[in-house]
Chains A and B, each alone.
Chain A
């Protein structure tokens, strides 16, 4: 924030003029955002307050107040989906952060071969989720799966395990596939953060007799906190929209063990054609995601200012 000390008038009005010009240039982009993001969100929220019936002549809206939301809260499917998605986001992001940090630290210290390894790491991240989910489906297959074949070969297990056939195992397997895919993204973000930590500060700390452990906890970690927050924010938002991985890998099963909010929303809206409750599912996620995002931005801004000061 560099505005505070610029208070003399001519500069201010010039700045304002510039801002107005800027706004004009931004207008087309803003309009697109308005059309494809803001409008659908507001419309969905409106839909969520209605009972919607579909006829040959289109949709009919009947105001239903909080009826759809009461329906959601009374549904064990919705409550489970919320808990599952929250736990899923928490666990995967935490694991990705720890593994990502470890990977980033190793990458930073690599004397040679770093570009090659970076490219390799990006491979899972660049794969389309639907494709990698299909691939994991083959790996986890309970009869012909590669994972079972390897474990059997080495005598670690004695009969094939159906990885996606038990609730807890299926959840863990889905989480593993997610970590495999997105950990590199976190690692690369963190690596960028690590690269920005001034070398002289670390050298000075070492000269003062600080151990590696101390340097990491007291110097490196605080300095890359903004990068970390950003990585966490990205990942939490993505984890909350969890759809393609369980949709392809487990179809939400076994039972409803891996049914995320987005999978449930898809089912209610596009399979059951229950547009009111479906919109309420979607809106409720939007609200939760917005709250998380705003909370993070707030914390992040605090940290950034702290970092600058």
Chain B
């Protein structure tokens, strides 16, 4: 039985009732909604085709429009209408899935998280790009990126820009206290304690510890540093329950109990960590690539005092430590009426021109290998010169049930960070939950 639309209206409607019309419920699909420009196009005998691109703001609100203008110049036959999505990846997912599963033809192309390919591929929410584009197309991307956007051998997302966990530090404070830039976690702890003891800074290290997707990223880095794993390579066996995982979470908790990190990190998302760091209240911060351009903005207290390095490792292990891979892909809606134009758009945005614009003007890490290596681009974007040094670790997002796995991880680890449960208990419980999820008996 096929029910393309009713179900969505239904789910949204019922949740709206029980939630007293909460904000999280995305609007139902609007099958009749078509961009006005389409009608205009027909009137002008198809001088151009308009495609709808749904994307969250990139660095600044003007970035996307700037890229669109450059694209339209290169491809006069295609116009792009921009639909702004939420900056919260989960809200964006809820909105997009509601629209696409309802059969909506728009958006034609959408910008989505790197952790979506399995879930979206599995549920038919994205076009398998590898069915429509030649193999040679995917060789443009930096190694591993296209594989990361694949599910069951098909590539569902075109990597658009990359992100990774980085260590930001205050150059001025370290110089003042004659301390080295930490290469190990142990050193970061001792640096922090020294700086706090000298009253040079309020907190040592700020990071993302709230119960949300960002904590899963931070956790993956610590797990990687300890040699722990969540799942096996095939993604069907839980390996989380180990003493290495316990050590990783215990260390995270110890950052809080020792006063290196404020107790409040258990409620921190990226902007909270950035606020504390930009206000000059923290010596070290774990954040994504975009925090660089943010810390360079005039008006923040730390302009010119910030350095950036790969993440630290535990003493005696390979340096640097792991950086979690983040970033965004471009996906195509399976119901789009303009597949050819959509692919042209994706091709241009991931090609040299689009990627160079993104890296030069907006300091994002390009996914296009040639642009990533381009010395002229590197010069303008200091984060790019560290990218080759990073040791990357991906979240276990190769399975369609990844959101459930991530919830099990961040909810239990957050509980351990706040001291509700012991790190060991949190790991055990998360493992059990993931096992149940894999068996299809989870909620």
- Among A251, A264, A274, max chain B CB count under 10 A is at A251
A255 contacts the other chain (Cβ, under 8 Å)?
yes
The answer on a CB contact under 8 Å between A36 and B13 is yes
| CB within 8 Å of A: which B269-302 residues | 272, 275-276, 281
| CB within 8 Å of B: which A259-294 residues | 261-262, 264-275, 277-279, 281-283, 285-286, 289
- B276: contacting residue among A44, A143, A261, CB under 8 A: A143
The answer on a CB contact under 8 Å between A282 and B14 is yes
Cα(A85)–Cα(B2), bound, Å: 35
Interface size class of B (residues with CB under 8 A): 35 or more
The answer on a CB contact under 8 Å between A243 and B19 is yes
B17 contacts the other chain (Cβ, under 8 Å)?
yes
Cα(A40)–Cα(B14), bound, Å: 6
- A75: contacting residue among B334, B401, B418, B442, CB under 8 A: B442
| CB within 8 Å of B: which A14-65 residues | 36-37, 39-41, 43-44, 47, 52-61
The answer on a CB contact under 8 Å between A39 and B10 is yes
The answer on a CB contact under 8 Å between A143 and B9 is no
Cα(A74)–Cα(B417), bound, Å: 26
B403 contacts the other chain (Cβ, under 8 Å)?
yes
The answer on a CB contact under 8 Å between A40 and B10 is yes
The answer on a CB contact under 8 Å between A273 and B18 is no
Distance to closest chain A CB from B189 (angstroms): 20
Q: A144-B275, A253-B211 are in contact. Are A277 and B7 (CB under 8 A)?
A: no
Q: A60-B1, A270-B24, A270-B98 are in contact. Are A142 and B264 (CB under 8 A)?
A: yes
A60 to chain B: which residues have CB within 8 Å? Answer: 1-2
Q: A130-B23, A244-B22 are in contact. Are A268 and B211 (CB under 8 A)?
A: no
**What are 5 A-B contacts defined by CB distance under 8 Å?**
A44-B14, A143-B272, A162-B264, A265-B15, A274-B404
Mask: chain B, 69-99; 1 = CB below 8 Å from A; 0 = not: 0000000000000000000001001100110
Cα(A60)–Cα(B419), bound, Å: 43
Cα(A239)–Cα(B374), bound, Å: 57
A94 contacts the other chain (Cβ, under 8 Å)?
no
Interface size class of A (residues with CB under 8 A): 35 or more
- A253: contacting residue among B262, B263, B414, CB under 8 A: B414
Distance to closest chain B CB from A178 (angstroms): 12
Cα(A43)–Cα(B5), bound, Å: 12
A75 to chain B: which residues have CB within 8 Å? Answer: 442-443
| CB within 8 Å of A: which B208-222 residues | 210-212
B180 contacts the other chain (Cβ, under 8 Å)?
no
Q: A165-B267, A243-B22, A279-B11 are in contact. List 17 more A-B contacts (CB 8 A).
A: A40-B14, A41-B17, A57-B2, A57-B4, A143-B272, A144-B275, A165-B266, A238-B20, A243-B18, A243-B20, A253-B212, A253-B411, A256-B415, A265-B15, A272-B401, A282-B15, A286-B18
A88 contacts the other chain (Cβ, under 8 Å)?
no
Cα(A160)–Cα(B276), bound, Å: 14
- Among B93, B276, B401, B415, max chain A CB count under 10 A is at B415
The answer on a CB contact under 8 Å between A266 and B19 is yes
Distance to closest chain B CB from A303 (angstroms): 26
The answer on a CB contact under 8 Å between A277 and B443 is yes
A167 contacts the other chain (Cβ, under 8 Å)?
yes
Distance to closest chain A CB from B302 (angstroms): 16
- Among B17, B90, B272, max chain A CB count under 10 A is at B17
B2 to chain A: which residues have CB within 8 Å? Answer: 57-60
B441 contacts the other chain (Cβ, under 8 Å)?
yes
The answer on a CB contact under 8 Å between B18 and A268 is no
The answer on a CB contact under 8 Å between B15 and A269 is yes
Q: Which residue of chain B lies nearest to A78 when distances are taken between CB atoms in the complex?
A: B443
The answer on a CB contact under 8 Å between B9 and A71 is no
Distance to closest chain B CB from A279 (angstroms): 7
The answer on a CB contact under 8 Å between B15 and A266 is yes
The answer on a CB contact under 8 Å between B19 and A41 is no
Q: Which of B118-126, B134-142, B230-238, B307-315 contacts A (4 or more CB under 8 A)?
A: B118-126
Cα(A143)–Cα(B278), bound, Å: 13
The answer on a CB contact under 8 Å between B266 and A254 is yes
Distance to closest chain A CB from B127 (angstroms): 9
The answer on a CB contact under 8 Å between A54 and B123 is yes
